[in-house]
Amino acid sequence: MGVQGLFSLLENHSQVYRETKLRGRKLLIDGCNLIHLLYFTGLDQNLGGEYAAFEDLIERFVSALKICNISPFVILDGGSDISGKKDQTCTLRAENRIKRSHLAATGGGQKNILPPLATKVFTQTLMRLNVPLVQCYGEADQEVAALAAEWNCPVLSDDSDFFIFELPSGLLPIRHFLWWEASASQRFIRCRAYRASSFCIYFQIPCPLLPVFAILAGNDYSKLQVASWTQDWLSRLEGLLRWLKDFQQPEEALRAALRSGHVQSERQEAELMELLSAFIKTYELPASSTKDLFVSGQKAPPPEQGADLIPEWTWLPLMHCQLPPSILDILLLHKMKLSIMVDDGTLPSANGASRPLRQLFYGLLLGGDAVPPVEERDRDGLKLSFTQIKPTVTCTAQKLRLGSLQQSKASERLQVLLEALGVTEEPLNKLPSQLRLPVAVTRYWMQRAEPRPDNQLLRALLQGMMWGHKAGPGRRPEPAGLKVKGQRKLTPDVGVVHSLCQWQACLTDALQLNQLLCFPLEEPDIARLYQGTFIHHLLHHNSFLHSDAQLYDLLLSITQQTSAPAAPAAPAGPGEPRRSPRIIQQQMLKLEEEEQEDECSAQAEQVLLMEKQLVVKNRQKSKKKAGLHRSALSEYGH
């Protein structure tokens, strides 16, 4: 949700805000908003993601809250709005995202395209830090506002719709939330607080008209141009507020707006009034459905819509982020929104490599061959596409039923997953449990990706996994070494970027399948698996360090096996005087980004230095083995 131009309006009228210091309180956080605003403060977006650095940023944010005795409660969006009211807005945003991702891939600029597994890193990190976290069945805005009203605590978000809700303890915009200043000597967070009542007093409009203002200004749901005050958005909003001063009740303001927009008939006016009244209800606060879940964590409420289509055993895992929200879209809408990534727009979408995994995912959810197809939203070239995809079910998967899936034998669920990935259990059992799923996915990717990834890229990817595994949970995967200053930023190879996007698509869909099958394989710590800048530096230096040669050889042998996978490949789809808090944050994180570049360069330099030692050792081993081999042959000949 969001009201276009409202933030700019408030920045121009900052008297509406109240400067405050936050400490010792509950804080409800709009999780999806926080993910984007934290990530888009200097972390790399075009090389597939800097997940360890993102994890570190999340940890520092949570630590700042704890220093100030602030108790965070995070709420995330779930499935799509099933009413279809936001379809047009979502489509326009997806089309814009495709254009921005293409510009990022070809020009290298930061276009605010969130890496595909950033949300997963966010939820995994919060769970590890024991931060209370709930995923809604639908959009989280109403639930966040409802719980904030019941708990009488502020909301942290930059979603402009929260400016419309009447929140007893107000809204704290993230862009004015100076969390990085918190320390042992400053146990509070300076911020700005907003209240809807203050807005109405300042602009001299009755509070009941605030939702009307949002609707007529054009929020994500309405987008109705019922009247035109000016062409400039900021002036338009100011003009709209002046116009609303003449009214006391929402209905009279709506009727006047419709009539000024040249409504053709009374019937059309009645229909639009009904529609607009429904939009206004989106700002009414229901009773909270997540409060008990935050308090007890044991019982999830039933979904408000489609409860008969969503198995009861899935309710709690869904709300605890142990099942993906895409399940709701598939069960209720037969739709799937795929990630728009920074890949090569001249090639088929990177999501095509993992389509067979999604087809099985759909089949397990919907029942196989006798069900309607699932509509996948993806890109075709530089255009948004909607493709009908047929669900499939393998012979082994036919034994499973969605309603009792969690009660099925673990061996059966594991077999379904392994067959889908085209790997057997025996070689995976030789690996640490955290590496089994990503290695199986990497093997699948090597066989499915087009163009086929080369061995140099495979080695770099495995190297990244090994360093992450060596670091362990909660520690950034950084091999010790010299920091190399003054390194120029790498110019990424678009083909390599595209191939790594295919790997992330395969991992994303395998993670979803593993979740639905109740985790037959341990879910890997994503922040340990992939660091885009590190991998590209390794490729740039064309040298690799095997910190554990035995493990590396095992990873390589499993991922390079050439036996045919279990399922056929799916066809490609059709085609201040105080400085601005934002500036402070960007400056702070710019330094961090430079340090990350240096660290990745250092890692690559460390690779170059130690590779020579390994080559010498390997040659010595080879000579020794060759000598033994010749001796054995000599004895055999005699």
Q: Which two tokens stand for residue 131?
A: 């931060």
pLDDT tens digit string along 179-227? 999 999 999 999 999 999 999 999 999 999 999 999 888 765 554 554 4
Report the distance separating Cα 480 and Cα 602, nearest Å. 8
What type of residue is 166?
Answer: E
Peptide bond into 451 cis (omega under 30): yes
Separation of alpha carbons 191 and 458, rounded Å: 46
Res 369: pLDDT: 66
Identity of the amino acid at 393: V
In degrees and rounded to multiples of 5, residue 556 shows phi and psi of: -65, -40
CA distance 454 to 496: 9
* Nearest partner of 79 among 1, 146, 136, 144, judged by Cα: 136
* Both tokens assigned to 293: 């879940």
Looking at domain 6-208, its CATH class is alpha beta
Q: The tokens of 473 are what?
A: 């949970």
Class of residue 587 by CB neighbours under 10 A (exposed 0-12, middle 13-18, buried 19+): exposed
How far, in whole angstroms, is CA 543 from its chain's centroid?
Answer: 32
Nearest to 523 by CA among 511, 531, 513: 511
By DSSP bridging, strand 189-193 and strand 18-22 are antiparallel
> Residue 48 to residues 45, 149, 253, 486, 543: CA-CA distances in angstroms?
6, 39, 48, 23, 21
Q: What is the pLDDT at residue 403? A: 95
pLDDT at 224: 52
Q: What is the pLDDT of residue 495?
A: 93
Asked if 356 and 568 touch (Cβ cutoff 8 Å), the reply is yes
Tell me how far apart the alpha carbons of residues 188 and 182 are, in angstroms, rounded to a whole number. 6
CB count in 10 Å sphere of residue 416: 27
State how far the Cα of 464 lies from the Cα of 289, in Å rounded to an integer. Answer: 41
List, for residues 478-517, the tens digit of each pLDDT value.
543 324 333 456 677 899 999 999 999 999 999 999 999 9
Percentage of the chain exceeding pLDDT 90: 65
Q: For 82-114, what is each residue's pLDDT tens digit? A: 888 888 889 999 999 999 999 999 988 889 999
Helices assigned H by DSSP within 77-156: 87-107, 118-128, 141-151
Which residues of the chain are in CATH 3.40.50.1010 domains? 6-208
pLDDT of residue 108: 84
> Phi first, then psi: what are they for 570, rounded to 5°?
-80, 145
Angle at CA 260, nearest 5°, toward 258 and 266? 45
pLDDT at 406 over 50: yes
Q: Give the residue among 307, 370, 365 at the shortest CA–CA distance from 334.
A: 365
* Residue 344 CA, distance from chain mean position: 20
Among candidate residues 557, 551, 319, 312, the one with its CA nearest the CA of residue 458: 557
Q: Flag whether pLDDT at 338 surpasses 70.
A: yes
pTM over 0.75: yes
**What does the block give as tokens for 631?**
């001796």
Q: How many CB atoms lie within 10 A of CB 206?
A: 15
Question: How far is the C-alpha of 126 from the C-alpha of 61, rounded, in Å?
Answer: 11
71 and 141 Cβ atoms separated by less than 8 Å: no
